[in-house]
């Protein structure tokens, strides 16, 4: 064939033409080319040929340029094939799960691992002045040992005889593993926090396991125990106060501890030794059951080592306490749940789990021993101080026994026995402690939440709320061993001493912090004492969206989820945006329908950001960090996330760049930096994402930031968008470090937005904190409609910043405003002196956002005309230009504006105030009702309903459609909240009321002392009252105990 | 940006599971590969069998399944990476085309049909509207024998060098040059009306061209 031609065989003419073609195509070079070019120039015929060849080449090239593309159906098939190729890792990952042998082994490893890791970590965290390293070793060496001659591999046998376990489907096993991984992680975090700064900051993301604080109504939770005595639940309701989890609370708590450098020092100082955590698990009555015994409260003051006081409480580990839908790890948790009813028989359990305690001298520092009872539907008994803060508490101990618990259990039992034996030998057993502990076994109910609250917190905080819980802990009506009067009095003494100490003002604590500690709300502040309120802007609305979801599903939102400021800010802005300035400032004052008396008014502080037209915004570089862990499978969370991303992409155009990182066990890049106009590429990256594995949020964030860094370009806004259900359970997720990273990148010009999906009690706080640190917005999206609202309608607000570090300061005139309190923004507080300190950062505000904050103010009853000329309140706003990439921090422009309000400008009545004002007031009030705020506990609901009706009437006349819809929605939520019991006053027993009163008097006294009114006759009166109250509380305690033990 | 990443980078990302990287590669190479496949398989393939699109799709699937390892020496050199991957893809495409042709031939033999001759029309391109230029050029190309067409397409549209084409097609460089020369001559004759708007053959046509 022609293939065999060779140059040599060609005729001269053909060879010349071939050379011409080569020349025309640029294949010739050097002398050869030069020579031929010369000939072409010299010989016209050759020139013509050359020109023809070139013309032909040009014609072919131009006319066929552009080229073909594969037809869509081919492309589709090709991508389908590619996607299958793209998933090798997950497939492999699943494959080994599926093997029964691996499953068996995994269960074993997991159980053993969870147990020991937990013990080890707890130990690490609490290695306070303690030979725990030695114990650790001992424990480790015991790990392989067995109880009472039972071979070490007993657990395997146990598993083997449980064919159901072997047959467990992958679907069951996977969440289990994830939950276990999470629990271990959480435990480590908690422990780690203790080690680092004496308090845990991590917020347990796991709804199912931590559910309960006083806010959960057991009556509304079908799975909860039927027994709780009314006073217990009511007590819990009081006790909720300190469940509010905010950074501020933690800060306060830390401050309260005198900023100890080291948690265990503090613990040691308090005479507590929490170094021991003992657990036991057994199969009682055929029900998987797990109990953990915490030995706590070894008295540092004990004269001799031999007189150590051990106190054991029992915690029944259960999973869920609330009715919320099963989350990750929910399945195993539920399995364990039936253990609760079986607990009472623990008194006759084969292994008396109670290390005997020495008689506790009443005058000794109170031990940490406190049974925990509150917690509504799922209280429990837990020896050791109770952390007051359910939300920020990781789930430390009780989560371990998710499953048969075969492996670690014997070891723990042995430890206990050894311990018991030792103590029994070295000292006389104390019947009281012993029996008390047993009694508490009987009293224990579903206790997971109790244990969830974390030993980290125990170490640092034996708050007064634990006291209330403790008292509640005696309530459950199961029969308890009879105790002598002496023993009962001893118990009362102990409880009282604990409670009393926690009601005192702590070192470096201000009375208002103490108030917050007691009730979780901002206190009224005397203007004479402090005339300024300073806080960072917050435009998040996630709290409202999440509460809405809860209410619509017929569940009670948790108190800690309700952030008043996010309720207020969830509504369409009503203030007119500025046309030139960055912010329009507004102050509005009107009487409040919710105040104590006519002197209580509401002040609304409003700051509205300018709008930015879509085509005028700066280019955006967005990096999506997508959670593709197994938990995202639930309720199609990942599909919702994909939907959200697609929506977001529709808002972008060729100016913008996006990248996508997916994470589960590991992080991986699924889309490199790509023009947002390339919808096809983006879709090809989004479409194949599938949920699998665990949640290594840190790896995801880290890779996301690494990618965002590569995209940094001047003149652009760079943002990482973190989409997740918030459950972080793997990786080195030390909260502090993550936050530190987020902060550092923010300073480098990369913001962080978070979008939460799915329903999980605790994801919310994790995501909110991340967004806070990253100066971004936290959104919660539960369906396509919410996604539309959060992403499309609020796009410029959420993604186009107009100002960063926005701080607000309100200054009241002491002559006109006697007291003030801020509604919400508890975790946004900034020291007054830092208002002009530009190093102190605050919130970011996006285009068109409105920041609204309400103050309840008590005006002087005799405001005279002359006061009218002075500003009643002054609002200052300070902000920086939004951070762009590669910008020197020192070159950022700083702005400040202020405005003032005269009393003369106040509205005469609530109804005369602007609709926006009224709406904000009602939203805030609703939040306070849901929070069971100490300021709105008893009577505000009726006022809320009637004012809401009036507002809807007023708005329906010429109001915007959207605004009306929002009000209708609010009204619907209010109605649902009523159905869930929020409309009724919190039931209060005498004991609770007395405790509450005692606290109030303590707070009052602290306030008076702060005001240096030491000589005030009121003080004496308070002292007297306190004595009376003390007696009442003691009596009530005694009555309570006697009922159960006598 | 993903779109601008070098072939080597994209291959790495694809190996790491980034679908978008693969899509970019497909977009980058589909046009030259389609042209190449088209040039090998010939125009208007009747009687079933796989068309250029099918062949190219399969070539890309091979890329997806087993992305070639680029030689270490061209790491980071986008042009070199491109040449390497391009050669690989073109070779795979060509082999698939050859398989297709062989299968076609077998089928046609079984069916007792002669391979359809390319109907050579009179080449009268007068009156071809400007917007039909593309179709006309394509038609002229299609009329060329397969080997000439292939090298011309690779050279003119795929911008492959003679030696690259030699690698892809398994011919000597000289043969490639000769095939291009012959093919280009035929094309010039065929497309003369389009080149100058008048019948070809005289020096003044060429002169006008030069001007």
Q: How many CB pairs under 8 A join A and B?
A: 206
Q: Is the pLDDT at A991 greater than 60, yes or no? A: yes
Per-residue confidence (pLDDT) for residue A938, from 0 to 100: 54
What pLDDT band is residue A1007 in, cutting at 50, 70 and 90? confident
CA distance A736 to A464: 27
Contacts of A626 (CB under 8 A, 6+ apart): A638, A641, A645, A660, A661, A662, A663, A670, A689, A700, A723, A724
Q: What is the pLDDT of residues A533-570, one digit of tens each?
A: 999 988 888 888 888 888 888 888 887 788 899 999 88
What pLDDT band is residue A336 in, cutting at 50, 70 and 90? very low
Mutate to test the interface with B, among A14, A24, A68, A81 (most CBs of B within 10 A): A68
Q: Is the pLDDT at A730 greater than 60, yes or no? A: no
Per-residue confidence (pLDDT) for residue A856, from 0 to 100: 92
CB A187 within 8 A of CB A380: no
Q: What is the pLDDT of residues A154-178, one digit of tens each?
A: 333 333 334 344 334 333 433 444 4
Q: What is the pLDDT of residues A894-931, one digit of tens each?
A: 899 999 888 878 888 888 899 999 999 999 989 988 88
Per-residue confidence (pLDDT) for residue A241, from 0 to 100: 34
Cβ contacts of A29 on chain B, cutoff 8 Å: none
What pLDDT band is residue A603 in, cutting at 50, 70 and 90? very high
Per-residue confidence (pLDDT) for residue B74, from 0 to 100: 79
Cβ contacts of B177 on chain A, cutoff 8 Å: 7, 18, 21-22, 27
Q: Look-up: residue for tokens 């990781």?
A: A394
Q: What is the pLDDT of residues A571-586, one digit of tens each?
A: 888 899 898 889 999 9
What are residue A316's phi and psi, to 5 degrees?
-90, 125
Cβ contacts of A680 on chain B, cutoff 8 Å: 23
3-state secondary structure of A410: helix
Query: Token digits for A927?
Result: 């939040």
Beta sheet of A657-663, edge-to-edge order: A667-675, A657-663, A620-627, A717-724, A750-757, A778-781
Per-residue confidence (pLDDT) for residue B190, from 0 to 100: 81
Mutate to test the interface with B, among A19, A62, A63 (most CBs of B within 10 A): A63
Nearest CB to B13 within list A60, A75, A672? A672
Question: A2 touching B, CB under 8 A?
Answer: yes
CA distance A100 to A61: 62
Per-residue confidence (pLDDT) for residue A889, from 0 to 100: 60
Contacts of A936 (CB under 8 A, 6+ apart): A594, A925, A928, A929
Nearest CB to A674 within list B16, B20, B182? B20
What pLDDT band is residue A853 in, cutting at 50, 70 and 90? very high
CA angle A64, A66, A72 (to 5 degrees): 115
Question: A33 touching B, CB under 8 A?
Answer: no
Instruction: Find how far residue A227's CA is from the centre of its chain.
Output: 30
Per-residue confidence (pLDDT) for residue A113, from 0 to 100: 54
Q: Do B3 and A20 touch (CB under 8 A)?
A: no
User: In 10 A of CB B201, how many CB atoms?
Assistant: 10
Per-residue confidence (pLDDT) for residue A629, from 0 to 100: 84
Q: Do B206 and A88 touch (CB under 8 A)?
A: no
Longest dimension (CA), chain B: 60
Q: Do B19 and A680 touch (CB under 8 A)?
A: no
Question: A12 touching B, CB under 8 A?
Answer: no
Cβ contacts of A661 on chain B, cutoff 8 Å: none
Cβ contacts of B61 on chain A, cutoff 8 Å: 78, 81-82
Q: What is the pLDDT of residues A734-767, one digit of tens each?
A: 666 777 888 888 888 888 988 888 765 445 667 7
CA distance A463 to A960: 48
Beta strands at A750-757 and A843-846: parallel, antiparallel or unpaired: unpaired
Per-residue confidence (pLDDT) for residue A142, from 0 to 100: 42
* DSSP designation for A842: -
If phi > 0 it is left, if psi is from -120 to 50 it is alpha, else beta; for residue A806 that is beta
What pLDDT band is residue A119 in, cutting at 50, 70 and 90? low
CA distance A455 to A615: 53
Per-residue confidence (pLDDT) for residue A921, from 0 to 100: 92
3-state secondary structure of B37: helix
List the single residue in A with minimal CA-CA distance to B188: A56
What are residue A940's phi and psi, to 5 degrees?
-85, -10
Nearest CB to B184 within list A47, A56, A86? A56
Q: Do A67 and B157 touch (CB under 8 A)?
A: yes
Q: What is the pLDDT of residues A173-217, one digit of tens each?
A: 334 444 444 444 334 333 333 333 333 333 333 333 333 333 333
Per-residue confidence (pLDDT) for residue A852, from 0 to 100: 94
Q: Is the pLDDT at A771 greater than 70, yes or no? A: yes
Question: A80 touching B, CB under 8 A?
Answer: no
Which of A365-379, A762-776, A803-817, B3-17 is predicted with the least confidence, judged by mean pLDDT? A365-379
The full 3-state SS of A438-502, as one line of letters, equals HHHHHHCCCCHHHHHCCHHHHHHCCCHHHHHHHHHHCCCCCCCCCCCHHHHHHHHHHHHHHHHHH
Contacts of B164 (CB under 8 A, 6+ apart): B83, B86, B87, B154
Mean pLDDT comparison of A241-255, A438-452, A494-508, A967-981, highest-scoring range: A967-981
Per-residue confidence (pLDDT) for residue A439, from 0 to 100: 31
Per-residue confidence (pLDDT) for residue A727, from 0 to 100: 63
Nearest CB to A47 within list B19, B145, B210? B210
Instruction: Find how far residue A579's CA is from the centre of its chain.
Output: 37
Beta strands at A801-812 and A843-846: parallel, antiparallel or unpaired: antiparallel
Cβ contacts of A671 on chain B, cutoff 8 Å: 2, 18-20
Instruction: Find how far residue A387's CA is from the centre of its chain.
Output: 16
List the single residue in A with minimal CA-CA distance to B38: A68
Question: A671 touching B, CB under 8 A?
Answer: yes
Length of chain A: 1046
Cβ contacts of A48 on chain B, cutoff 8 Å: 203, 205-207, 209-210
Q: Is the pLDDT at A660 greater than 80, yes or no? A: yes
Q: Is the pLDDT at A1046 greater than 80, yes or no? A: no
CA distance A498 to A369: 9
Per-residue confidence (pLDDT) for residue A662, from 0 to 100: 92
Q: Is the pLDDT at A277 greater than 70, yes or no? A: no
Q: Do B31 and A684 touch (CB under 8 A)?
A: no
CA distance B32 to B104: 23
Q: Do A78 and B57 touch (CB under 8 A)?
A: yes
Side-chain half-sphere CA neighbours of A620 within 13 A? 27
Q: What is the pLDDT of residues A124-134, one digit of tens each?
A: 444 433 444 44
For the four alpha carbons of A489, A492, A494 and A500, in that order, the dihedral sign comes to negative
What are residue A291's phi and psi, to 5 degrees?
-130, 150
Q: Which one, of A251, A384, A394, lies nearest residue A309 by Cα?
A: A384
DSSP per residue, A129-159 = SS-HHHHHHHHHHHHT--STT--TTHHHHHH
Cβ contacts of B191 on chain A, cutoff 8 Å: 56, 59
Q: Which residues 158-217 of A are in CB contact (within 8 Å) with B?
A: none
Percent of chain A with pLDDT over 90: 8
Per-residue confidence (pLDDT) for residue A115, from 0 to 100: 54
Q: Look-up: residue for tokens 């900034």?
A: A830
CB A612 within 8 A of CB A871: no
CA distance B90 to B94: 6
Question: A626 touching B, CB under 8 A?
Answer: no
Q: Is the pLDDT at A304 greater than 60, yes or no? A: no
Q: Is the pLDDT at A1010 greater than 80, yes or no? A: no
Question: A13 touching B, CB under 8 A?
Answer: no
Q: Is the pLDDT at A364 greater than 70, yes or no? A: no
Q: Do A680 and B179 touch (CB under 8 A)?
A: no
Nearest CB to A77 within list B14, B57, B175? B57
Q: Is the pLDDT at A597 greater than 60, yes or no? A: yes
User: In 10 A of CB B54, how many CB atoms?
Assistant: 17
Q: Is the pLDDT at A606 greater than 90, yes or no? A: yes
If phi > 0 it is left, if psi is from -120 to 50 it is alpha, else beta; for residue A391 that is alpha
Of B40 and A445, the one with more pLDDT = B40
Which of A676-680, B49-53, B61-65, B141-145 is predicted with the least confidence, judged by mean pLDDT? B49-53
Q: Do B31 and A69 touch (CB under 8 A)?
A: yes
Give strand pairing partners of A843: A806
Helical H segments across A503-541, by residue range: 511-519
Of A975 and A187, the one with more pLDDT = A975
3-state secondary structure of A818: strand
Nearest CB to A52 within list B22, B175, B209? B209
List the single residue in A with minimal CA-CA distance to B54: A74
- C-alpha separations of A706 from A318, A663, A669, A748 in Å: 40, 14, 11, 12
Length of chain B: 211
Query: Token digits for A943?
Result: 């006022």
Cβ contacts of B30 on chain A, cutoff 8 Å: 67-70
Q: What is the mean pLDDT of chain A?
A: 65
Which secondary structure element, helix H or strand E, spans residue A268, and what is its range? helix A263-269
User: Taking chain A, what is the end-to-end CA distance rounded to the nearest angstrom?
Assistant: 112
Cβ contacts of A60 on chain B, cutoff 8 Å: 137, 141, 152, 156-157, 187
Q: Report the gap between the CA of B191 and the closest CA in chain A (Å).
A: 7
Q: Is the pLDDT at A1005 greater than 90, yes or no? A: no
Nearest CB to A681 within list B23, B133, B205? B23
Query: Token digits for A42?
Result: 């010299």
Q: Do A85 and B26 touch (CB under 8 A)?
A: no
As to burial, measured by CB atoms within 10 angstroms (0-12 exposed, 13-18 middle, 19+ buried), residue B112 is exposed
Q: Report the gap between the CA of B30 and the closest CA in chain A (Å).
A: 6
What pLDDT band is residue B172 in, cutting at 50, 70 and 90? confident
Q: Do B17 and A89 touch (CB under 8 A)?
A: yes
Q: Look-up: residue for tokens 């449980």?
A: A162
Helical pair A542-552 and A763-773, crossing angle rounded to 10 deg: 170
Q: Is the pLDDT at B84 greater than 80, yes or no? A: yes
Q: Which one, of A20, A601, A518, A542, lies nearest residue A240 by Cα?
A: A518
User: In 10 A of CB B136, how many CB atoms?
Assistant: 18
Q: What is the pLDDT of residues A861-870, one digit of tens each?
A: 877 655 566 7
Per-residue confidence (pLDDT) for residue A57, from 0 to 100: 86
- C-alpha separations of A896 from A4, A805, A920 in Å: 84, 12, 25
Q: Do A7 and B177 touch (CB under 8 A)?
A: yes
User: In 10 A of CB A681, how many CB atoms?
Assistant: 24
Which secondary structure element, helix H or strand E, spans residue A276, and what is its range? strand A276-284
CB A19 within 8 A of CB A28: yes
CA distance A655 to A619: 5
CA distance A254 to A242: 14
Q: Look-up: residue for tokens 């926690």?
A: A502
Per-residue confidence (pLDDT) for residue A17, from 0 to 100: 85
Cβ contacts of B136 on chain A, cutoff 8 Å: 63
Per-residue confidence (pLDDT) for residue A937, from 0 to 100: 55
Of A950 and A118, the one with more pLDDT = A950
Cβ contacts of A55 on chain B, cutoff 8 Å: 188, 195, 209
Mutate to test the interface with A, among B13, B40, B177, B205 (most CBs of A within 10 A): B177
Instruction: Find how far residue A370's CA is from the centre of its chain.
Output: 27
Side-chain half-sphere CA neighbours of A656 within 13 A? 26
Cβ contacts of A44 on chain B, cutoff 8 Å: 203, 207
Contacts of A371 (CB under 8 A, 6+ apart): A313, A381, A382, A383, A440, A443, A470, A473, A474
Per-residue confidence (pLDDT) for residue A85, from 0 to 100: 67
Q: Do B182 and A86 touch (CB under 8 A)?
A: no
Per-residue confidence (pLDDT) for residue A337, from 0 to 100: 35
List the single residue in B with minimal CA-CA distance to A40: B210
CA distance B34 to B18: 24
Q: Do A67 and B31 touch (CB under 8 A)?
A: yes
């Amino acid at each position: 064939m022609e293939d065999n031609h060779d140059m040599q065989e060609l005729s001269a003419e053909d060879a010349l033409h071939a050379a011409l073609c080569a020349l025309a195509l640029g294949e010739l070079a050097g002398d050869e080319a030069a020579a031929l070019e010369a000939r072409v120039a010299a010989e016209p015929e050759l020139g013509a040929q050359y020109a023809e060849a070139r013309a032909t080449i040009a014609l072919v090239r131009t006319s066929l340029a552009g080229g073909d593309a594969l037809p869509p159906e081919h492309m589709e098939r090709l991508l389908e094939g590619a996607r299958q190729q793209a998933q090798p890792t997950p497939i492999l990952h699943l494959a080994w799960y599926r093997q029964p042998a691996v499953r068996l082994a995994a269960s074993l490893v997991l159980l053993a691992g969870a147990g020991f890791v937990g013990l080890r970590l707890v130990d690490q965290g609490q290695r306070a002045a303690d030979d725990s390293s030695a114990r650790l070793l001992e424990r480790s060496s015991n790990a392989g040992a067995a109880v009472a001659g039972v071979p070490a591999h007993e657990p395997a046998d146990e598993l083997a005889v449980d064919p159901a376990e072997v047959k467990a489907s992958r679907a069951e096993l996977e969440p289990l593993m994830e939950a276990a991984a999470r629990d271990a992680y959480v435990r480590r975090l908690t422990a780690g926090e203790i080690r680092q700064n004496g308090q845990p900051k991590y917020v347990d993301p796991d709804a199912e396991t931590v559910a309960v604080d006083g806010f959960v109504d057991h009556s509304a939770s079908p799975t909860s125990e039927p027994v709780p005595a009314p006073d217990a639940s009511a007590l819990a309701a009081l006790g909720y106060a300190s469940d509010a989890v905010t950074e501020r609370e933690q800060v306060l708590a830390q401050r309260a501890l005198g900023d100890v450098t080291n948690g265990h020092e503090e613990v040691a100082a308090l005479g507590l030794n929490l170094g021991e955590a003992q657990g036991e698990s057994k199969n009682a009555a055929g029900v998987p059951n797990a109990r953990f015994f915490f030995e706590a409260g070894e008295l540092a003051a004990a004269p001799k080592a031999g007189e150590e006081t051990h106190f054991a409480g029992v915690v029944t580990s259960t999973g869920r306490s609330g009715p919320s839908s099963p989350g990750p790890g929910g399945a195993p948790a539920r399995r364990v749940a039936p253990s609760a009813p079986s607990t009472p028989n623990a008194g006759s359990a084969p292994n008396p789990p109670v290390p005997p305690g020495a008689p506790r001298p009443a005058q000794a520092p109170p031990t940490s021993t406190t049974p925990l009872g509150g917690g509504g539907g799922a209280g429990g008994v837990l020896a050791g101080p109770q952390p007051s803060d359910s939300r920020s508490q990781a789930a430390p101990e009780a989560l371990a026994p998710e499953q048969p618990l075969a492996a670690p259990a014997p070891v723990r039992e042995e430890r206990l026995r050894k311990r018991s034996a030792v103590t029994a030998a070295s000292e006389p057993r104390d019947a009281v402690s012993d029996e008390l502990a047993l009694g508490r076994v009987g009293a224990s109910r579903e206790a997971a939440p109790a244990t969830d609250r974390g030993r980290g917190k125990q170490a640092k905080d034996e708050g007064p709320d634990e006291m209330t819980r403790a008292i509640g802990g005696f309530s459950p009506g199961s029969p308890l061993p009879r105790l002598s009067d002496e023993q009962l009095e001893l118990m009362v003494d102990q409880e009282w001493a604990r409670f009393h100490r926690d009601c005192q003002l702590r070192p470096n604590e201000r009375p208002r912090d103490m108030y917050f500690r007691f009730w979780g709300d901002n206190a009224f502040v005397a203007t004479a004492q402090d005339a300024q309120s300073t806080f960072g802007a917050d435009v998040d609305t996630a709290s409202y969206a999440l509460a809405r979801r809860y209410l619509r599903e017929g569940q009670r939102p948790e108190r800690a989820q309700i952030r008043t400021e996010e309720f207020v800010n969830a509504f369409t802005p009503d203030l007119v945006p500025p046309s030139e300035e960055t912010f329009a400032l507004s102050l509005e004052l009107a009487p409040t329908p919710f105040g104590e008396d006519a002197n209580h008014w509401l002040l609304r502080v409003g700051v509205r950001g300018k709008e930015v037209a879509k085509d005028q915004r700066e280019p955006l570089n967005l990096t999506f960090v997508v959670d593709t862990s197994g938990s995202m499978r639930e309720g199609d969370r990942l599909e919702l996330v994909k939907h959200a991303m697609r929506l977001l992409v529709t808002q972008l155009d060729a100016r913008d760049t996006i990248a996508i990182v997916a994470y589960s066990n590991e992080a991986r890049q699924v889309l490199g930096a790509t023009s947002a106009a390339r919808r096809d590429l983006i879709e090809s990256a989004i479409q194949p994402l599938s949920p699998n594995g665990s949640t290594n949020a840190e790896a995801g964030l880290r890779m996301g930031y690494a990618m965002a860094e590569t995209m940094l370009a001047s003149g652009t806004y760079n943002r990482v968008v973190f989409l997740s259900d918030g459950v972080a359970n793997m990786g080195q997720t030390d909260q502090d470090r993550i936050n530190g990273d987020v902060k550092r990148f923010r300073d480098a010009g990369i913001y962080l937005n978070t979008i939460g999906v799915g329903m999980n009690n605790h994801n919310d706080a994790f995501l909110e904190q991340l967004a806070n640190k990253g100066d971004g917005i936290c959104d919660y999206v539960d369906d396509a409609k919410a996604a539309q609202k959060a992403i499309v309608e609020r796009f410029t607000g959420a993604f186009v910043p107009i100002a960063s570090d926005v701080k607000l300061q309100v200054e009241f005139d002491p002559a006109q405003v006697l007291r003030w309190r801020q509604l919400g923004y508890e975790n946004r507080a900034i020291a007054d002196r830092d208002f002009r300190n530009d190093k102190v950062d605050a919130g970011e505000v996006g285009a068109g956002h409105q920041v609204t904050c309400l103050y309840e103010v008590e005006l002087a009853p005799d405001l005279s005309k002359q006061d009218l000329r002075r500003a009643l309140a002054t609002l200052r706003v300070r902000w920086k230009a939004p951070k762009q990439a590669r910008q020197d921090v020192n070159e950022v422009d700083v702005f400040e504006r202020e405005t003032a309000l005269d009393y003369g400008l106040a509205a005469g009545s609530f109804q005369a105030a602007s609709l926006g004002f009224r709406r904000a007031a009602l939203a805030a009030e609703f939040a306070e009702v849901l929070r069971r705020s100490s300021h709105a506990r008893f009577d505000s609901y009726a006022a809320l309903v009637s004012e809401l009706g009036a507002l809807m009437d007023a708005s329906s006349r010429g109001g915007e459609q959207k605004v009306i819809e929002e009000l209708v929605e609010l009204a619907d939520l209010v109605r649902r909240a009523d159905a869930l019991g929020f409309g009724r006053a919190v039931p209060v027993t005498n004991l609770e009321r007395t405790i509450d009163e005692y606290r109030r008097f303590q707070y009052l006294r602290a306030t008076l002392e702060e005001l240096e009114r030491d000589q005030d006759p009121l003080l004496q009166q308070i002292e007297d009252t306190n004595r009376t109250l003390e007696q009442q509380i003691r009596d009530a305690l005694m009555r309570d105990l006697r009922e159960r033990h006598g | 940006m993903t779109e601008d990443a070098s072939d080597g980078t994209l291959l790495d990302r694809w190996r790491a599971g980034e679908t978008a990287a693969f899509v970019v590669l497909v977009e980058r190479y589909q046009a030259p590969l389609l042209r190449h496949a088209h040039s090998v398989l010939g125009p208007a393939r009747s009687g079933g069998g796989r068309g250029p699109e099918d062949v190219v799709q399969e070539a890309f699937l091979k890329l997806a399944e087993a992305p070639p390892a680029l030689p270490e020496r061209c790491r980071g050199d986008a042009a070199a990476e491109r040449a390497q991957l391009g050669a690989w893809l073109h070779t795979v495409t060509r082999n698939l085309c050859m398989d297709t042709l062989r299968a076609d031939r077998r089928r046609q033999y079984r069916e007792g049909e002669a391979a359809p001759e390319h109907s050579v029309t009179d080449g009268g391109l007068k009156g071809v509207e400007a917007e039909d230029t593309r179709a006309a050029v394509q038609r002229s190309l299609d009329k060329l024998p397969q080997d000439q067409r292939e090298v011309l397409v690779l050279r003119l549209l795929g911008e492959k060098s003679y030696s690259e084409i030699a690698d892809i097609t398994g011919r000597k460089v000289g043969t490639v040059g000769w095939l291009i020369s012959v093919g280009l001559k035929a094309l010039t004759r065929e497309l003369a009306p389009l080149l100058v708007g008048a019948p070809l053959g005289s020096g003044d046509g060429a002169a006008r061209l030069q001007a």
